[in-house]
Amino acid sequence: GENVEQHPSTLSVQEGDSAVIKCTYSDSASNYFPWYKQELGKRPQLIIDIRSNVGEKKDQRIAVTLNKTAKHFSLHITETQPEDSAVYFCATYGNKLVFGAGTILRVKS
Amino acid sequence: GAGVSQSPRYKVAKRGQDVALRCDPISGHVSLFWYQQALGQGPEFLTYFQNEAQLDKSGLPSDRFFAERPEGSVSTLKIQRTQQEDSAVYLCASSPLRGLDTEAFFGQGTRLTVV
């Protein structure tokens, strides 16, 4: 079945530094790759997504890259701020949306 | 309302009790999904509706779990004879289109604690 592995499980960075979270997946039929941010006690919210016909997408300080051949995709956050602290989930869609286990990002000021 | 609404926000159930969790999706959204999120884990797929039709229930962990969406709007997730391992946050999400290859909007979840 579908499997999504996410690394690292926790990530601490200094304010202003960059953060990178990586995911690998197993379902070669996956064609949609969203990233969700979940703050403590709140709902997951989509922050960026990418489709299989695109290799990179950027939205202000957030970017996602996709390598379909290697079946991995990454989230890049530049110029991190304390409000970026949250849990980040990658996900893939083949015939259902499957989530990674999450990365706890802490931005230290 | 403006977003996906779930009720109750918190539910404490005694082991063996039946519970019903409600989801009000965004008005007009075709697709509705239920996920189970254990502490420190990512959401795990439970089931998917397109309008009133339950198209995928492969993630339901046992026959104690049942979901319905009779009029293609509000959905209820029912858990019979709850057990401690059912303790988790149950998330509902809706999407305006068919399938999940588009943004899914999540509710705030129902935190179920079975004691």
- Paired tokens of B54: 């339950």
Interchain CB distance below 8 Å, B103 and A34: yes
Interchain CB distance below 8 Å, B48 and A31: no
Would you report the helix, strand and coil content of chain B in percent, each value rounded to 5? Answer: 5, 50, 50
What is residue B1's predicted lDDT score, i.e. its pLDDT?
53
How many CB atoms are closer than 10 A to CB A77?
25
The number of residues making up chain B comes to 115
Averaged over A26-32, what is the pLDDT? 90
What is residue A1's predicted lDDT score, i.e. its pLDDT?
60
Q: Please check whether residue B41 touches A, CB under 8 A.
A: yes
Residue B99 reports pLDDT greater than 90 = no
> Which residues, 6 or more positions from A102, have their beta carbon under 8 angstroms from its beta carbon?
A6, A9, A38, A87, A88, A89, B40, B41, B42
Averaged over A69-95, what is the pLDDT? 95
CB-based contact B67:B88 (threshold 8 Å): no
Closest chain A residue by Cα to residue B103: A46
What is residue A96's predicted lDDT score, i.e. its pLDDT?
79
What is residue B40's predicted lDDT score, i.e. its pLDDT?
85
Using pLDDT thresholds of 50, 70 and 90, give the confidence band for residue B100: low
